[in-house]
Amino acid sequence: MYKSSIPVFIRNLENLSNLLNKTSEHAKNKKIDESVFINARLFPDMLPLSRQVQIASDAVKGAAARLAGVEVPSFPDTETTFAELQERIAKTIKFAESFKPEQIDGNESKAIVLKVGGNDLKFDGESYLLNFVLPNLYFHTSVAYSILRLNGVEIGKMDFLGKIQ
């Protein structure tokens, strides 16, 4: 469970951070206000880049905490700059790095209940990680990538995947 969660979470957030770095540099080079990217959406009824990053962060900190049986830290969703989004990512990575394998491993059967849209979603630990958290993390990081690519940032698949180890 640990190997399928914490290292994967950290890698995805680091890759997201690198995408934001490239976007910040792109904005400076093209003399485009960063708020154009931070508020950009794929479609009017979808959430902007800032929320995609916030939700990716929430998925990671929530999953790590719930799987380990500790309180989920609360981060206000107030980021409006690349620097603030980077700070949030860094705090989330630091939180994820604080967990040891023994806190996560063995929690495959742990009961996890989430309140989503007023409804209780019930999972065991393994289903929560594999069928809810990881797909959500990949969805929001993919949408963030897509927003940036749609807005002309010169990034590619390897920027999304990160350095292959």
Residue carrying the six token digits 């990217």:
37
pLDDT digits (tens, 9 = 90+) for 48-69: 999 999 999 999 999 999 999 9
Q: CB of 126 within 8 A of CB of 108?
A: yes
What is the b/e burial string over 109-145, where b = at least 16 CB atoms within 10 angstroms of the residue's CB?
Answer: ebebeeeeeeeeeebebbebbeebbbebbeebbebbb
- Residues 77-133 have pLDDT tens digits of 999 999 999 999 999 999 999 999 999 999 999 999 998 899 999 999 999 999 999
pTM of the model: 0.96
* All domains of the chain in start order, with CATH: 2-161 (1.20.120.450)
Helix (H) or strand (E) segment spanning residue 121 = strand 119-124
